[in-house]
């Protein structure tokens, strides 16, 4: 007979979504958060200054460079990176707090961030049990280039650098639990939702049927 699930055990998910720049992970993440009331994003720490309307502890935790470095040295971050001179990091305590409340946590990170999280999850049973990783990618580099050009945010030279970096990122797809080849936004969200629903029904995360 299968033993009952301990009361303190949670079936909460740590859903890590990665994609190359322009791959659509931000849009998909926003729609997943809108659709799933139990899904929460982890608030990221950053050294960049707040933008108009942003609030500390709501949009980001705004830290100075010295405080951020101390957090890095103390091993407080699940993953961290420096982008365009500003540092960003996801606090391990922030993620674990939400998981222990039974909340599913969504992290939208690059492939290096996902690798760092996998490494920590391999050493932490609580994170390892919750972790589900997904790589979202356009079907071809040509389509990714088209998306980047449609955004009209970067010079052609910058786009070429992004594409070269994207090729390296896409090569890491095999290290993820799931691969979602992007089509439409609605279809990408539907597939991500199917992954969430399936993971919730995994035998390892389920309570035994009544009467067993």
**CATH classification at residue 139:** 3.40.50.300
In percent, the amount of the chain with pLDDT more than 90 equals 70
* Residue 6 predicted with pLDDT over 60: no
5: in domain? no
Range of the structural domain that residue 146 is part of:
14-205
2: in domain? no
Count of CB atoms within 10 A of residue 211's CB?
Answer: 4
Q: Structural domain tally of the chain?
A: 1
Give tens-digit pLDDT for 54-106: 999 999 999 999 999 999 999 999 999 998 789 999 999 999 999 999 999 99
The predicted structure's pLDDT at residue 12: 96
In percent, the amount of the chain with pLDDT more than 70 equals 94
187: in domain? yes
DSSP 146: H
User: pTM of the full predicted structure?
Assistant: 0.86
154: in domain? yes
109: in domain? yes
d(CA 36, CA 58): 19
59: in domain? yes
d(CA 48, CA 161): 23
Count of CB atoms within 10 A of residue 115's CB?
Answer: 15
User: 200 pLDDT band (50/70/90 cuts)?
Assistant: very high
The predicted structure's pLDDT at residue 211: 57
d(CA 177, CA 66): 36
């Amino acid at each position: 007979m299968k033993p009952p699930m301990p009361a303190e055990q949670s079936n909460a998910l740590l859903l890590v979504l990665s994609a190359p720049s322009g791959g659509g992970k931000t849009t998909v993440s926003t729609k997943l958060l809108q659709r799933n009331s139990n899904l929460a994003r982890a608030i990221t720490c950053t050294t960049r200054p707040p933008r108009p309307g942003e609030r500390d502890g709501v949009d980001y935790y705004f830290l100075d460079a010295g405080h951020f470095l101390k957090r890095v040295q103390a091993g407080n971050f699940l993953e961290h990176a420096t982008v365009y001179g500003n540092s960003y990091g996801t606090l391990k305590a922030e993620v674990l707090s939400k998981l222990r409340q039974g909340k599913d946590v969504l992290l939208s990170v690059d492939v290096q961030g996902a690798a760092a999280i996998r490494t920590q999850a391999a050493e932490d049973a609580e994170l390892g049990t919750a972790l589900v990783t997904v790589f979202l990618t356009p079907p071809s580099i040509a389509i990714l280039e088209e998306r980047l050009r449609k955004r009209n945010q970067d010079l052609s030279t910058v786009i070429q650098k992004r594409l070269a970096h994207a090729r390296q990122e896409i090569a890491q797809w095999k290290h993820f639990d799931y691969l979602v080849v992007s089509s439409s936004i609605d279809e990408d969200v539907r597939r991500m939702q199917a992954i969430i629903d399936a993971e919730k029904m995994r035998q390892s995360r389920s309570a035994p049927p009544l009467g067993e």
